[in-house]
């Protein structure tokens, strides 16, 4: 993991069209003031501390830039009809942590995280989890039933990826 930096996952909503916007900011102050972008009038909804990173192979030095990734979230099972929660419950007996790779929204207006990068992220965290005897499954935010109503926990730092909610307390 390289280019590791902290910041915020920010969610805004357009009062004109009701679309939701997600982005990562490289500072720790929430942008609460309304903003305009094209036809959108964005109002601040919420922000959560998070981190941004890129990946680099130790063997071949190949680098994977993750600019399309806003953040990682851990599924909490807030909606049993959501595809992510269905996967979480299916993998639950195997003690697999299901994480959502949150990309930029609105999806139809922003560059998406390519599928091949999902497997690279999943492989990286799976390798890290082997020493902890933990498994991780990375899924697309497109599987989330409603991103604005999702209660998944935004992962604050690379160290907390494998920390359970009971361990955080």
Spell out the residues 6+ positions from residue 102 whose beta carbon is closer than 8 angstroms to its own: 9, 22, 69, 70, 71, 72, 73, 141, 147, 154
pTM for the predicted model, two decimal places: 0.87
Cα(102)–Cα(74) distance, integer angstroms: 10
Cα(109)–Cα(100) distance, integer angstroms: 20
pLDDT digits (tens, 9 = 90+) for 60-101: 999 999 999 999 999 999 999 999 999 999 997 777 889 999
> Residue 6 in contact with residue 28, Cβ under 8 Å?
yes
pLDDT digits (tens, 9 = 90+) for 131-160: 666 788 899 999 999 998 999 999 999 887
């Amino acid at each position: 993991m390289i280019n590791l930096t902290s910041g915020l996952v920010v969610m805004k909503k357009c009062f004109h069209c009701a679309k939701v916007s997600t982005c990562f900011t490289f500072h720790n102050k929430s942008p609460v003031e309304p903003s305009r972008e094209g036809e959108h009038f964005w109002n601040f909804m919420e922000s959560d501390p998070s981190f941004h990173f890129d990946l680099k192979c130790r063997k071949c030095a190949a680098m994977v830039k993750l600019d399309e990734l806003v953040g990682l979230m851990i599924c909490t099972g807030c909606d049993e009809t959501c595809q992510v929660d269905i996967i979480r419950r299916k993998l639950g007996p195997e003690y697999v942590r299901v994480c959502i790779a949150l990309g930029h929204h609105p999806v139809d207006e922003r560059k998406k995280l390519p599928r091949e990068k999902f497997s690279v992220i999943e492989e990286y965290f799976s390798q890290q989890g082997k020493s902890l005897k933990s498994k991780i499954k990375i899924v697309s935010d497109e599987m989330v039933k409603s991103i604005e109503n999702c209660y998944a926990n935004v992962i604050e730092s690379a160290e907390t990826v494998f920390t359970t909610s009971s361990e955080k307390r």
